[in-house]
Amino acid sequence: MVIEGLGAAYSNFYTSTGENREIITGELTEGLNLITLHQVVSGGNKYGENVTVKVSPLSFNLIDIRAKAGETASFLPIGIDGITGFSKGEEIKGEEFAFSPMVFQAKEGDVIMIRSNDAEYSPQIFFDSNGNGTMDWGANIYFGSDDSSEMDELIFSEKRYDGIDPSYTDIIPIHRNGTYFLFVMNLHGGLELYHLKNRYDANASIPMKIKAPEQAGAYLGIAEKDGILIPIPVKLGW
């Protein structure tokens, strides 16, 4: 299944909330902004299921936390409920992972952030449904496979192209412990993958304590407000 738009849009397989409810976040530009809902089913002769859309603009600036390697930083958050972080990011190339997946472990509560500046952007993430540690395509799904097992669950898929101003950010919350498979379907493209594992809850009156990683460098995290992951990076480093 292909989803178009910023963020993990609704699919039969997976939503960012784990329920029949989707949260999509994106950066607004100055002036008039429009939201278009395409609700016509295949064939164009009738509408799909009713969908309720709620828009809640939020104003946030980049959060920059300064700390040297191994130090603990004190940070008094304003206007957010928490931070999930932190990761230096990993460069993922299509020439390595277009046909053979990158395999990684993730736990419930983790967050995956994908960023790319390639004109063609088409990542896919599957969950190892049967826990065998191997990507299962199912019978005759891809490459003429005759695998008798069911296809692993597709939890995230995007296919977009922008040859003028390519800049993509997607945030994928993880709702189950297990093994995940990432494909970069653009053979000549690539992306940056950030695996965010630690949750820091905010308190309006007590500074948040964040221990910087032992290895020096710039790290990214994600802020959260009212249960919504906000695509404004939280930078940690010196």
Taking only the tens place, the pLDDT of each residue in 26-64 is: 667 778 877 776 666 656 666 666 777 777 776 667 788
What is the end-to-end Cα distance of the chain in Å, rounded?
41
- For all residues of the chain together, what is the average pLDDT? 80
- What distance in Å separates the CA atoms of residue 127 and residue 205, rounded to the nearest whole number? 40
pLDDT the model gives residue 238? 64
Beta-carbon-side half-sphere exposure of residue 154 (alpha carbons within 13 Å): 18
Q: Per residue in 116-161, pLDDT tens? A: 888 888 899 999 999 999 998 876 555 555 566 788 999 988 888 8
Are 195 and 88 within 8 A, CB to CB? no
pLDDT for the residue numbered 17: 58
Predicted pLDDT at 6: 40
Better-predicted residue by pLDDT, 133 or 76: 133
- The candidate with the shortest Cα–Cα distance to 9, out of 33, 28, 36, is 36
C-beta separation of 75 from 65 below 8 A: yes
d(CA 33, CA 94): 33
Name the residue among 171, 210, 205 with its Cα closest to residue 72.
Answer: 210
With 0-12 CB in 10 A as exposed, 13-18 as middle and 19+ as buried, what is 19? exposed
pTM (predicted TM-score): 0.74
7 dihedral zone (left: phi>0; alpha: psi -120 to 50; beta)? left
Q: For each of the domains in the chain, give its residue range(s) and CATH number, in order of start.
A: 63-237 (2.60.120)
Looking at the predicted structure, is the pLDDT value of residue 193 above 90? yes
